[in-house]
Structure formats: structure tokens, C-alpha cells
């Protein structure tokens, strides 16, 4: 039975991933930053519904000491992590010329530094010495193409793509696979500030004339972390309904 850490698991995509991996019989570390109650509730549901071991853990992924403390907690319960899904992320729409230094630092800190912190620690603690492991990073289609009024978000997510490709080459001989998913427009809480007209326009821009669901991303994640994808590493999979 594999042990899986999913960062940002209290959110829409993260919680769908937690359920999808639990259905496959995996033990789940449900990470959150501030919404501990929601993470605890999800962990309880996973334990009761799928007969797996699930725990809630909290950390500010942009803070290495906080990440290390999270792994210490996981050590006590699981002993190791076999699969890391770097899903934590924040977004903001703002003109580039109006982005403050603090907003830039926070965006890069959570979306890119967080991937560095969680990934480096999981490699050092478990995966390299065990000569096995899977790391899945969640970027965005805007990391591939860039988005107007989301320059800091696009830059961070593009960095995640570059990290994925480079790291896969570095750790492949250690039996570790590293891949990346780039979701398109997915109906989560991040979409709550968009009006109905904008949402409909986004839907019409996709080749399938539909928007994604968290389950669409979760299904792709489970596949890339499974033995069915054992010959896949260093890849960037767009799950965007043909939007790009």
C-alpha cells in the first residue's frame, strides 16, 4: 500500500485527488495550510469510506522549517512517502505594473518555492535512499502560454514546468519519476470571482466546449503516479479540454 502526500488537499482539485488515490488503496497525508478543519474532515471520510489510513497535516509550504515539521509528523504515522503530489497553489489577477513586491514574493513562495521545499525534503528523507518514488507537480496551462494580468502566477507555474523537466533527468537513475500536470479552466473556488459571462466565454474557447472538473485532474494524476505510467517521466500533460 503506497503512502501519498498531497499538498493543498483541502481545496477542490486536491480533495478530488485524495479521494481518487484512496480509492486505489493508498494511505493519504491530507495537507493544508490554514483550513485544518476541512483537512481533518476529509481525512476522516477517507478512513471511513475507503478503509485506508489518512491523516491531516498542516504547513506553510513556502517555509522550509514548516515543511520539515510536517514531514516529521508524517514520519510518525507512515514512516515514508512513496508519492508526492505538489498541488498547493494560489492565484491572483492583477496588472503587472500594480503587483507589489510582497505579492510577487508570496506568489513565487507558495507556487514555486513550495514545490522546491516539499520535493527536496521528500527526496532526501525517503526516495533517493529507497531508490523509488513518484513526484507529480501541478502547474497550469498559463505556465505553458502565459496569461495577461497573471504574470506572477504564470511565471511561477512556468518555473514548476522547468523544475519538473530538469529534476526528472537528475533523479531517473535513482528510480524516481517526475511529471507535471497543467490543468486548464477547472471549476473550483478559484473561479468564484468570475461572472457567468466570463465562465461561458472560457467554456466556448475550449475545443470540447466544456470546462474541467477536479475529478478530471485527479484521474490524470492517479494514472501518472501508477505503474501504468512506469515509462513516463519528465513529461508535461495538459488537461485542458483543448483550450490550448
pLDDT tens digits, residue range 216-234?
A: 999 999 999 999 999 999 9
Q: Any bridge partners for residue 54, and if so which?
A: 28
Check if 126 is active-site.
Answer: no
Question: Per-residue confidence at 204, pLDDT binned at 50, 70, 90?
Answer: confident
Asked whether the predicted pLDDT for residue 74 surpasses 70, the reply is: yes
pLDDT, residue 156, reads: 98
Model confidence over 25-53: pLDDT tens digits?
A: 999 999 999 899 999 999 999 999 999 99
Residues contacting residue 59 through CB under 8 Å, at least 6 positions apart? 31, 33, 66, 67, 69, 70
The upper half-sphere exposure of residue 95, i.e. CA atoms within 13 Å in the direction of its Cβ, equals 2
Cell triple for 180: 507535471
Show the cell assigned to 21.
488515490
Asked if pLDDT for residue 91 goes beyond 90, the answer is yes
Structural contact between residues 226 and 82, judged by C-beta atoms closer than 8 angstroms: no
pLDDT of residue 203: 86
Instruction: Indicate which residue of 50, 71, 126, 153 is catalytic.
Output: 153
Tell me what pLDDT residue 191 has: 64
Question: What average pLDDT does range 91-111 have in this prediction?
Answer: 97
- From residue 93, alpha-carbon distances to 88, 96, 112, 148, 150 in Å are 18, 9, 18, 8, 5
Cβ neighbours for 114, distance < 8 A, ≥ 6 positions apart: 7, 61, 62, 67, 86, 88
pLDDT (0 to 100) of residue 192: 66
CB 11 within 8 A of CB 38: no
Amino acid at each position: 500500500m503506497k503512502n501519498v502526500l498531497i499538498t493543498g488537499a483541502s481545496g477542490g482539485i486536491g480533495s478530488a485527488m485524495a479521494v481518487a488515490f484512496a480509492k486505489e488503496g493508498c494511505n493519504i497525508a491530507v495537507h493544508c495550510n490554514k483550513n485544518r478543519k476541512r483537512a481533518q474532515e476529509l481525512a476522516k471520510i477517507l478512513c471511513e469510506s475507503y478503509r485506508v489510513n489518512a491523516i491531516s497535516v498542516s504547513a506553510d509550504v513556502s517555509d522550509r522549517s514548516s515543511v520539515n515539521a510536517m514531514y516529521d509528523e508524517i514520519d510518525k504515522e507512515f514512516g515514508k512517502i512513496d508519492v508526492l503530489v505538489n498541488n498547493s497553489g494560489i492565484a491572483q489577477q492583477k496588472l503587472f505594473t500594480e503587483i507589489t513586491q510582497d505579492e510577487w514574493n508570496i506568489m513565487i513562495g507558495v507556487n514555486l518555492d513550495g514545490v522546491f521545499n516539499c520535493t527536496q525534503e521528500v527526496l532526501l528523507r525517503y526516495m533517493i535512499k529507497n531508490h523509488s518514488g513518484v513526484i507529480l507537480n501541478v502547474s497550469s496551462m498559463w505556465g505553458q502560454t502565459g496569461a495577461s494580468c497573471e504574470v506572477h502566477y504564470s511565471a511561477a507555474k512556468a518555473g514548476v514546468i522547468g523544475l519538473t523537466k530538469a529534476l526528472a533527468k537528475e533523479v531517473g537513475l535513482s528510480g524516481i519519476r517526475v511529471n507535471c500536470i497543467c490543468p486548464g479552466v477547472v471549476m473550483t473556488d478559484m473561479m468564484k470571482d468570475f461572472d457567468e459571462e466570463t465562465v461561458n466565454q472560457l467554456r466556448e474557447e475550449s475545443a470540447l466546449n466544456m470546462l474541467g472538473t477536479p475529478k478530471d485532474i485527479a484521474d490524470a494524476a492517479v494514472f501518472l503516479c501508477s505503474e501504468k505510467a512506469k515509462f513516463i517521466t519528465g513529461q508535461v500533460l495538459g488537461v485542458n479540454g483543448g483550450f490550448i
